[in-house]
Amino acid sequence: MFARSLTALAIAAALVASSHAAHADGDAKAGRKKAMQCAACHGIDGISKLPNAPNIAGSPAIYLEKQIKAFRSEERKDETMNVVAKPLSDDDIADLAAWYSGLEVSVTVPQ
């Protein structure tokens, strides 16, 4: 029983590590430059400048990549995002995800 648990744990750890590695290849520095086109709505700091655009600073890279790719393929619909995402390569998307996921967000709980 213990050996099965260790095997399952090892498999789970390997899957998490490989999943993380597949999405950790973006270049945040390059992403910052590419984020200039995102800044009008999401801000260079990932804090929304428009009421209908989400804050994306600190979002997990894997989430950002999935959402941008969904906009690019038009699986997810948004008039602006579909146009903006269409010309982005997978490398562009990884770079943007690296930039925005690397931004730290501070939260203050109201008292």
Q: What beta strand segments (E) does the chain contain?
A: none
CB 82 within 8 A of CB 71: yes
Domain span at 41:
26-101
Give pLDDT, residue 8.
45
Residue 19 lies in a domain: no
Report the CATH number that the domain containing residue 69 is assigned in CATH. Answer: 1.10.760.10
Distance (Å, whole) CA 36 – CA 32: 7
CA 30, 36, 42, 43 torsion-angle sign: positive
Q: How many domains does the chain have?
A: 1
Residue 34 lies in a domain: yes
Distance (Å, whole) CA 13 – CA 7: 10
Residue 87 lies in a domain: yes
Residue 66 lies in a domain: yes
Residue 21 lies in a domain: no
Residue 110 lies in a domain: no
Question: For each successive 10 residues of the chain (111 residues), what is the average pLDDT?
Answer: 48 46 76 96 95 96 98 98 98 98 94 92
pTM of the shown model: 0.76
Residue 2 lies in a domain: no
Which long-range CB contacts under 8 A does 18-24 form with residues at least 24 apart? 19/62, 20/62, 23/61, 23/62, 23/65, 23/94, 23/97, 24/61, 24/98
